[in-house]
Amino acid sequence: MTTVPVNASRQYDIRIGTGLLDRAGAMLREVVPCETVMLVCGDIVNSLYADRVQASLEDAGYRVARYVYPHGEQSKNADTYFALLNALAQAGLTRTDAIAALGGGVTGDVSGFAAATYQRGISYIQIPTTLLAAVDSSVGGKTAIDLPAGKNLAGAFYQPGLVLCDYDTLNTLPEEVFTDGCAEVIKYGVIWDADFFEQLKSPIRPQIESVIARCVEIKRDVVQQDEFDTGIRGLLNFGHTIGHAVEKCSAYAVSHGSAVAIGMALMTKAAYLAGRCDEDCVDSVYAMLRQYGLPTRTEFAPDDLLAAMLSDKKRSGSRISLIVPERIGKCDIVKLPVEEMKAFLRPALEDQTWK
C-alpha cells in the first residue's frame, strides 16, 4: 500500500492499495470516531461493492445507512443532492457523523457537497472506484453539482477526512470508463511532469499503483499551494474549458474524460497555431491520446462550443483563463478577454484535424 499525505485546510491520507474495501471500517475508525455512516453510491457500484464496504463498516462498530442513486452524470444535480440531504436527516445523522462516498466522480462530488452543507458540514471519506476518481476527483476537496446552466456551478471546497483507493475495483470498470480516467492521467504529464508523461508510453495497468500515486502526489502538491483555486490550481483544468463545453453541448452524453481529451487536443493545437508551443508538443499530445483510444475532436460547431465556454466557472468577469501548453510538462495560465479567447481557440475548433 502507498500512502500519500495531504496537508491542506484539513490533513488527511490517500491510501492506495488492494483489498482496502474490506479494511474501510478499521481505517475510518482511525480518523472519524462517529456513530453513523451514510454510505452513498450509484446503483451499479451498489450491486458490486456496497455490501462489502457496509460489512467492513459494521464490523468496525458503525451503524450504516445507505443512499443509492441512479448512476451517471445526469444524477449530479439538485434533485440527487436534496434527496441525499433528506436521507441524511431521515437516518438521523448528526454533526459528528460521516458520509462514505463509494464510486466515481459523480458520487464523490455530490456526496462531498452534501457533506459540506448538511448541518453546516460533516465528515466524509472518498472511496474511489473509477480511475478518474482515483487520480483526480477524490482528492483536493472540490465538490459540486451541475445546474441546467452548466457543469459544477453549485459546490464547495471541502476536504475529505480520508481517501481509500482500492484499485482492485478498477477491474470491473467498463473499458471506456477506464479509458476516460486515462485522460486525467495524461493531463498530469502534460501540465507537470515530462518524465511521468514518458512513463505513460508503457501500458498503465501493470503499473497502476505507481501511476495513481504519482497523479495524486502532483494533485496534492498543486492543492497544497492553492487549495481555493485562485492561481496555480488552474493548471489542473487543462482541457477542461473546451471539455466542459463539449459535455454541455452533448447534454452530458459525452463523458467527462472523453471531453477533457478533446479539450486537451484542441487546446494544444490552438497553442501551436498561436506560436506558444512547437509541433513536437502537439504530436506528443495527440499520439498519447490516440494510444489510449481517447477522442481528439468533436462535431459540435465552434460557435456553440464558444457560447458554452462563456458559462464556465473559469470565466471571471469579462476574462477567461485558458491552460495553454508550452511544452510537455509545462503549461501556462493565460487570462484573456472573451473576444481574444474566441480568436485564440477558433482556428483549432474550425479545423480539428491533426496529421
List residues bridging with 13 in a β-sheet: 5
Binding test (CB under 6 A) with ligand GLY, winner from 66, 76, 142, 342? 142
- The continuous run of DSSP H or E covering 162 comes out as strand 162-166
- Secondary structure (3-state) at 40: strand
136 binds ligand GLY (CB under 6 A): yes
> Is residue 129 a contact residue for ligand NAD (CB under 6 A)?
yes
Is residue 181 a contact point for ligand GLY (CB under 6 A)?
A: no
Whole-angstrom distance, CA of residue 102 vs CA of residue 225: 27
Residue 161 CA to residue 13 CA, distance in Å, equals: 8
Report the nearest approach of ligand GLY to the CB of residue 241 (Å).
12
Residue 233 interface partner, choices ligand GLY, ligand NAD, none, CB cut-off 5-8 Å depending on type = ligand GLY
301: left (phi over 0), alpha (psi -120 to 50) or beta: beta
State the nearest-atom distance from the C-beta of 191 to ligand GLY, in Å: 11
Among 107, 241, 268, 321, binds ligand NAD (CB under 6 A): 107
What kind and span of H or E run contains 176?
helix 175-191
CB of 184 to ligand GLY, least distance (A): 8
b/e code 30-53 from CB counts within 10 Å (16+ = b): ebbebebbbbbbbebbbebbbeeb
Q: Which of 38, 40, 50, 106 binds ligand NAD (CB under 6 A)?
A: 106
What own/partner pairs with CB < 8 Å and gap ≥ 24 does 206-209 have?
208/167, 208/170, 209/2, 209/16, 209/17, 209/167
According to CB under 6 A, which one of 187, 214, 233, 256 is a site residue for ligand NAD? Answer: 256
C-alpha cell at 335: 487570462
User: Got the DSSP string for 297-312?
Assistant: ---S-HHHHHHHHTTS
Distance CA(271)–CA(253), nearest Å, equals 27
Least CB distance to ligand NAD at residue 49 (A): 7
Residues 143-162 binding ligand NAD (CB under 6 A) are 152
**How many residues sit close enough to ligand GLY to count as binding (CB under 6 A)?**
7
**Contact code string over 15-54 relative to ligand NAD, x by CB under 6 A:** ---------------------------x-xx--x------
What is d(CA 224, CA 82) in angstroms, rounded to the nearest whole number? 31
- Partner in contact with 172, chosen from ligand NAD, ligand GLY, none, beta carbon below 5 to 8 Å by kind: ligand NAD
> Which of 109, 166, 217, 227 lies at the binding interface for ligand NAD (CB under 6 A)?
109
CA 312 – CA 58 distance, rounded (Å): 42
Q: In the complex, which residues of this chain contact ligand NAD (CB under 6 A)? A: 42, 44-45, 48, 71-73, 76, 103-107, 109, 129-130, 132-133, 136-137, 140, 142, 152, 169, 172-173, 177, 180, 256-257
Q: In the complex, which residues of this chain contact ligand GLY (CB under 6 A)? A: 136, 140, 142, 229, 233, 236-237
